[in-house]
Each structure stands twice: as C-alpha cells, then as structure tokens.
Amino acid sequence: MLRLTDIKLPLDHDEQALELAILSKLNIPKSQLVSFEMFKRGYDARNNKNIQLIYTLDVNVTEPEALLVQFSQDQHVRATPDMTYKFVGHAPEDLNERPVVVGLGPCGLFAALILAQMGFKPIVLERGKEVRQRTKDTFGFWRKQPLNPESNVQFGEGGAGTFSDGKLYSQVKDRKHYGRKVLHEFVKAGAPEEIMYVSKPHIGTFKLV
C-alpha cells in the first residue's frame, strides 16, 4: 500500500475528486487503483480566498513496488507504514494474580484495556464516583455548592480530562502509532470515524460519557 501526502483539493470538491487526484498523481489508469482510505485531512487557510483541504491517503494499487521505484525521489509517495498495535506479551495460562490499575482516568482506562486485551483480567481501583454523578458534584461546586472531597474535578471516573475541551491530540511524532490505537478504540466504542483522520480530532465530554 502507498501513502500519498500533500494532496490538495478545494473545500467544495466532489466525491470523485480524491480518486481523480490519486490517478493523476500516480499517472495510472483507474483499473490499477484497487481502493484507498483517508489517513489524515487538514486545512490550508493561509490564503483566505483559496482555502484548501490537504489529504494524506493510503492507496491500494495493483503494482505498488513498481510505483515506489518510479516515485523514489518524490517525498510525497512512500510505502504505508505498519500501524498495527504490537502487544508486548500475553498472559500465561496459569495466571494466579491479577494486576491492579489505580485510577480511572485516561491512562488508567487504557492501561486496563490493554491488559485485558492481553488476557490479564485487571482490577481497576477508583476512589471517586461514576462520571454522571461526578459531573453533578463538580458542576455543583462550580456553582458555589460545598466541595465533595471524593467526587470533584480531580477524583472519579474519567480523571481530570473529563472536564477538558475533549480534543484528542494525534501525536504527529508518535512513531509507534500508540495514538492511533487509542483513536481506533474510540471508534470501536461508537465515536465518529472522522476522528481517525481529521487534523484535530474531537469527541466532546458529553458525547463521550
């Protein structure tokens, strides 16, 4: 599979424009294009009279090796990297003890998820309340009600990030694609697929919970 970067199209482009841009960039007939998917979509708004969409596309073609040779000097045509998440191991069959994860914030949640996917059956400890009750307690405090020391902006399901602006930073320098694993799990859980490719992915706390 090939990764094409810096594919620029106007804001109002039609559905066929991406396919035509791929065929034009690689100079191939449509019969050689098997499929493609969007890896990233951003904006170039430096010229406010000509705002463009900028795409990074992963393209499946019939002869990728030949095209890689042909475009070896073009930095915008490269092989798609392997983005498969690599587990560091798996639980032994005779597992006698279960790992404990302390805290149900983002790190705790994903640590527990990865451990579970590896077969370790983690136990998660959280001193605060579940997110809906915690939201009531936190908003109440912001409206001058007494502080609940066990249910507030710091303690409870979702961690401190529950009351952030909800953006998912995609980690451009994430060479091991850990961030993509996180986004993929959000999509599996019902988040919109666009978070996989938009330049500033965003779910929003009230959709997340």
pLDDT digits (tens, 9 = 90+) for 22-71: 999 999 999 999 999 999 999 998 888 889 999 999 999 999 999 999 99
Residue-wise over 154-166: b if at least 16 C-beta within 10 A, else e?
ebbbbbeebbeee
Residue-by-residue pLDDT tens, the chain, 209 positions: 999 999 999 999 998 999 999 999 999 999 999 999 999 999 998 888 889 999 999 999 999 999 999 999 999 999 999 999 999 999 999 999 999 999 999 899 999 999 999 999 999 999 999 988 999 999 999 999 999 998 998 889 988 778 876 666 656 677 788 888 999 999 998 888 998 998 778 776 666 66
Helices (H), 105-190: 106-117, 131-142, 178-188
pLDDT of residue 125: 96
Query: Which residues share a beta bridge with 101?
Result: 124
Q: Which domains does the chain have, with CATH numbers?
A: 2-79 (3.30.70.2700), 100-208 (3.50.50.60)
Which helix (DSSP H) or strand (DSSP E) does residue 22 occupy? helix 17-26
Structure pTM?
A: 0.79
